Amino acid sequence: MVPHELSNEQGEHEVIAAAFCRPDLYPTLQHIRPGWFKNWADKRLWGCLQFCFETNGGPEPEVIDRLLKEHYGEEASGLLERLANIVDGYLHARHLTYYCRIVERAGIRRELVDWSRSLIELCESGATFSDIREHLASSPALPAGLTDGEVAS
């Protein structure tokens, strides 16, 4: 059974919170790319969490604090506050696959739209067909198993 309809942002927040609150579930989340998050801050938070898993085996608050301060300076306090709010609103991991699909589908759609816009700009700029072919070869790949309709687990 699928939970009530969530917005893309809610789904993104559930994924971030699950990674922080339930590090044992990270294998279910590790395929999610930072670029799939819509909000700049959420992209940064997800990238930081991924780095923590890759280097430390999981999220450690002091490491997250240090990384955000090193990379984002004055914006770090806002990012930390956002992470705290996301974690405070965490529901549960019961529908984590569903939340991952929300992030994945919205992110892939944004990637395709951005790629399509860049193709249009390239064509309108009078680029060579060789440049256009190269751009076509760089199209975002759709993950295997992506289907229409109900989200599969």
Q: What is the pLDDT of residue 145?
A: 56
Q: Which amino acid appears at position 73 of this protein?
A: G
Q: What is the pLDDT of residue 151?
A: 42
Backbone φ, ψ for residue 61 (5° rounding): -50, -40
First to last CA, the chain: 10
Q: What is the pLDDT of residue 52?
A: 94
Q: Which amino acid appears at position 86 of this protein?
A: I
Helices (H), 22-139: 26-29, 40-56, 61-72, 76-88, 96-124, 129-137
**How many CB atoms within 10 Å of residue 100?**
22
Q: What is the pLDDT of residue 45?
A: 95
Q: What is the pLDDT of residue 115?
A: 83
pLDDT, averaged per 10 consecutive residues of the chain (153 residues), comes to: 63 90 90 90 94 92 92 93 88 71 80 86 89 82 57 38
Residues making up the chain, counted from first to last? 153
Q: Which amino acid appears at position 42 of this protein?
A: D
Q: Which residue has the tokens 């992030």?
A: 103
